[in-house]
Structure 1
């Protein structure tokens, strides 16, 4: 167990040191146990922050743990980008890895699917995989190049960003894929999340925009005030808005379903915010420099 109790408070934003600067907090999720779980991409570990006392417990796993999410089985699941595996970790610390069928695929995004299984992207292999809670793995061709983040849509399909295909992809649970090209060239979509409005919302890291796509494929783009913001991850907040990290500017942004945008500065412009999730009535994001930031949701 590692104990980190330092914090930095700037009004609506509070930061908590959870690792040394070299460990690299990357993505985070609220676990089935109510705690905040996050990956330490450069340490090869997954950590848990206790919701009561803030103590951090670190669990060694495979190389390059990246995106993490809660599974339907009471465990957290995550991708191991450099080890080319999918990891499962229980609240008690029991760890199990699962190998995709395609070697060297570079698993990145992961989400709980509509069918009780976990779905993940193999970015380097242009494939999307499925793993049951018992470890049975199947794979399908992605609908475009370099599938990155993915999420379950309101239509019962999997939706993913196609980072090098400049598109958003839809994949049914039987493997049928469709790609929807983006209007802006070089958008480089990364994060994606289901919104409260029945649409999917995504980040365009290359274009400095937030995108919205309906389940029938209609795309709307919203330019950010800072074109160099490099928005990375996005999540639905408890306030009916979408929240996202601005990796290029050290900020967290908020966009309403009507397109109104505000942002919150973090302690440093170079703190490298990546993953973001709702937890305990607030928004939390992982800063690769060694902290987690909590952003208060104000009415």
Structure 2
């Protein structure tokens, strides 16, 4: 694997989320209130406390991202106020954008023209974190120690994790099931459509944060605590680990169309990992 780093912003601006949208790589600078393209464009959100976090391709072909600091979701050109602190975000199966509201135990749905609906997840104090879409919406309950599933009409099913106090964060739907990671337990997990959960150990102290499923049934995972990236096969085995350097603090990651991977490093860069 070849690793290439691209400096984005200043050393304290904190690249956090990353997405590939229309062939362009976008990242959020969480501490600067900025979203940026790797090609050089910076878009100031004109709110120092905006804290842009997770960024994804929207159903309209433009980047959508959450702003956990000023309770907004939107695109580089427009944003909408939401009733809580948003974090995870994804394009849903219904041509709308779905997101988690961490502090209110709700999911939000917003159309590309700003029509907003919220749905309770049915569990108090669960701290919904990341979200992904298959036929339904799947999301991690970081403090609820569970995986949630919601239909587009708001019907919820909750699946408790086998490991206590696992702290699930990242989640990504893929072939054969939905991958997720447990930052406190140091494990990866996969849940199938019938609710069956498997857990797989990761290197000690790795603190996995984000995950993206791959076409072969496996996944890539950022190991925040180990300053590394790991690749798992469809059986849950770690088949590769790539060091990203001391203090790199890898967070968000995205899969490109050619199978390469982009990783946001909070130390001030975005890394591109190519076969």
**2:57 equivalent in structure 1:** 70
The question of whether the paired residues in 1 share the 8 Å contact of 2:87 and 2:130 is answered with: yes
**1:256 equivalent in structure 2:** 233
Return 264-273 or 173-182, whichever deviates more.
264-273
Change (3 A) 1:14 1:119: same
Q: Does 1:210 align with 2:207?
A: no
**1:221 equivalent in structure 2:** 199
Q: Across the two proteins, how many residue pairs are aligned to each other?
A: 269
C-alpha deviations, 1:38-79, integer Å up to 9, x for none? 100001011111xxxxx3211012410000011111221100
**Equivalent-residue separation in structure 1 for 2:240 and 2:106 (angstroms):** 34
**2:80 equivalent in structure 1:** 98
Change (3 A) 1:280 1:158: closer
Report the 3-state secondary structure (helix = DSSP H, G, I; strand = E; otherwise coil) of the residue aligned with 1:23: coil
**Equivalent-residue separation in structure 1 for 2:4 and 2:28 (angstroms):** 20
**Equivalent-residue separation in structure 1 for 2:241 and 2:272 (angstroms):** 11
The question of whether the paired residues in 2 share the 8 Å contact of 1:76 and 1:88 is answered with: yes
Superposed displacement of residue 216, structure 1: 1.1
Superposed displacement of residue 240, structure 1: 4.6
**1:287 equivalent in structure 2:** 265
Give runs of aligned pairs for residues 1-299 of structure 1, distance below 5 A.
12-31=2-21, 33-49=22-38, 55-61=39-45, 62=47, 63-89=50-76, 95-100=77-82, 102=83, 105-144=84-123, 145-153=126-134, 156-197=135-176, 199-224=177-202, 226-237=203-214, 240-281=217-258, 282-297=260-275
The question of whether the paired residues in 1 share the 8 Å contact of 2:53 and 2:65 is answered with: yes
Superposed displacement of residue 239, structure 1: 5.2
Superposed displacement of residue 15, structure 1: 1.6
**Equivalent-residue separation in structure 2 for 1:158 and 1:137 (angstroms):** 16
What is the TM-score of this pair, normalised by structure 1? 0.87
The question of whether the paired residues in 2 share the 8 Å contact of 1:188 and 1:207 is answered with: yes
Report the 3-state secondary structure (helix = DSSP H, G, I; strand = E; otherwise coil) of the residue aligned with 2:78: strand
RMSD between superposed Cα atoms in Å: 1.3
Superposed displacement of residue 116, structure 1: 0.7
**Equivalent-residue separation in structure 1 for 2:215 and 2:92 (angstroms):** 21
Q: Which runs of 5+ in 1 are unaligned?
A: 1-10, 50-54, 90-94
Q: Which runs of 5+ in 2 are unaligned?
A: none
The question of whether the paired residues in 2 share the 8 Å contact of 1:143 and 1:170 is answered with: no
The question of whether the paired residues in 1 share the 8 Å contact of 2:233 and 2:239 is answered with: no
The question of whether the paired residues in 1 share the 8 Å contact of 2:211 and 2:219 is answered with: yes
**1:6 equivalent in structure 2:** none
